[in-house]
Amino acid sequence: MAEKRDYYEVLGLQKGASADDIKGAYRKAALKWHPDRWVEGTDAEKKTAEEKFKEASEAYSVLSDPDKKAKYDQFGFAGVDGAGAQDWSQGFGSLNDLLNNLFGGAFGGGFSGFGGFGGFGGFGGGQSGPRTMRGKDIRTHVKLTFEEIASGCEKQVSIEQQKPCPECNGRGTRNASDIKTCPTCNGKGQVQHMTNSLFGRTVTYGVCPQCGGEGKIVTNPCSKCKGKGLVPVRTSVKVRIPAGVEDGMQLTVRGEGHSAPRGGVAGDLFVVIDEIPHAELKRDGVNVFCTKVLSITDAMLGCEVEVPGLEGPYKLKVEPGTQSGTVVRLRGKGFPAVNGYGSGRGDEYVKLLVWIPRKLSRSERQAVEALADSPSVKPDPSREDRALFEKESKYF
């Protein structure tokens, strides 16, 4: 395998290119190098087009994904290897999504048949064999507390995977002789369509409707799996959750999706993060917010209070004469950024509110009355105090 070229260089971009630039550059490359455009070309041209298209698609798949792009920008290929980089030999599921996303409805049927290629190796006038079957992906959710998100954790998620049937060893039938070549596609796994697309009049190859692209069908199917070769199995998968993830983020666990029938590649497991709301803390990105109510005497005399935090409660010193509405910033007590990328660690903001008593006993009332004419209690807000009274924040 030749030395890999920098993803930005592949797309003819500078580092720091915008999402629109990246999209535009890939669109251009895809239109130029898409294999459909080179069906009439020489073998050498086809091979070049295939390589260029593959290279551009891989670059785009990383640079168009903010998370992968961030890792690539920081760590280069090491940051996206395995987890990020698409293994293009495994078929086109995600490439199809990518192109459909990029070109929208314009491609319509032109690309729907694209999945039928047997990997790029098979490209070249429909002479390819059946494609490598890929198992379906599984999507599940995991619920996490703020504390678990702050520190990162490992979670067991329970999922139902389609696994090779033990009765027929995943073949779908007990006898190997009952696996026959599909009559619809003669074992090629794909059928030919003529289509008009952005690339002009092109021949595309669609997945064979009878065998689903496998090129084989099963006669005398196994009774346990009804010929599918797969049976559902409940399993528990360990998922490592990096610190700092947010509600709605999705982690990918390669190869923990459903198995593919009769061999092939397993799909992926997607784990979506569900944040469990915290009783006292609110979150905005890496920062957290909470409110603490003080008594009027504590606010006047100063005190030490306990405030909730991501690593357990903190002691907070309240200065004498603290105004209601004062916001104290606890530096570095927020969430870490995911994978350390970005601004490092967030902060915790504590808003101090002073509670004014509604009912007073006779003696309390007298004590307060004794203060009433004292010059110290006459309002004389400083500049900071006034700023405080005017400040509004959506987080409290």
Residue 388 contacts by C-beta under 8 Å, 6 or more apart in sequence? Answer: 323, 325, 326
Name the β-bridge partners of 138.
Answer: 269
How many Cα neighbours within 13 Å face the side chain of 17?
22
Q: Which of 185, 260, 281, 290 binds Zn ion (CB under 5 A)?
A: 185
Which C-beta is closer to Zn ion: that of 137 or that of 167? 167
Looking at residue 247, the DSSP 8-state letter turns out to be: T
Q: How far is the CB of 229 from Zn ion (least distance, A)?
A: 6
Give the DSSP H/E element, type plus range, for residue 59: helix 43-63
Segment interacting with Zn ion, rule: CB under 5 A, options 35-43, 163-171, 246-254, 372-380: 163-171
**Radius of gyration from C-alpha coordinates of the chain:** 31
Cα–Cα distance, 180 to 187 (Å, whole number): 9
* 245 is a site residue for Zn ion (CB under 5 A): no
Residue 160: strand, helix, or coil: strand
* Residue 115 Cβ vs Zn ion, minimum distance, rounded to whole Å: 14
Of residues 68 and 188, the one with the C-beta less far from Zn ion:
188
CA distance 249 to 266: 22
Nearer to Zn ion, 7 or 205 (CB): 205
Build a one-symbol-per-residue string for 193-222: x at contacts with Zn ion by CB under 5 A, - elsewhere. ---------------x-xx----------x
Asked whether the beta carbons of 148 and 156 are under 8 A apart, the reply is: no
Residue 165 Cβ, how far from Zn ion at the closest point, in Å? 3
Q: Which is nearer to Zn ion, 182 or 251 (CB)?
A: 182
Compute the least distance from the CB of residue 122 to Zn ion, in Å.
Answer: 15
β-bridge partners, 239 = 155
Compare residues 63 and 208 and give the one whose CB is closer to Zn ion: 208
Question: Which CB, 18 or 127, lies closer to Zn ion?
Answer: 127
The residue among 24 and 187 lying less far from Zn ion, judged by its C-beta, is 187
Binding flag, residue 165, Zn ion (CB under 5 A): yes
CB 270 within 8 A of CB 263: no
**Counting contacts by CB under 5 A, is residue 225 touching Zn ion?**
yes
E strand spans, 93-189: 138-144, 153-164, 179-181
167 lies in the binding site for Zn ion (CB under 5 A): yes
Check residue 224 for interaction with Zn ion (CB under 5 A): yes
- Residue 336's DSSP bridge partners are 345
Residue 94 touching Zn ion (CB under 5 A): no
Query: Which residue stretch of 33-41, 181-189, 260-268, 271-279 sits at the interface with Zn ion (rule: CB under 5 A)?
Result: 181-189
Instruction: Indicate the SS3 state at residue 179.
Output: strand
Binding interface with Zn ion (CB under 5 A): 165, 167-168, 182, 184-185, 208, 210-211, 222, 224-225
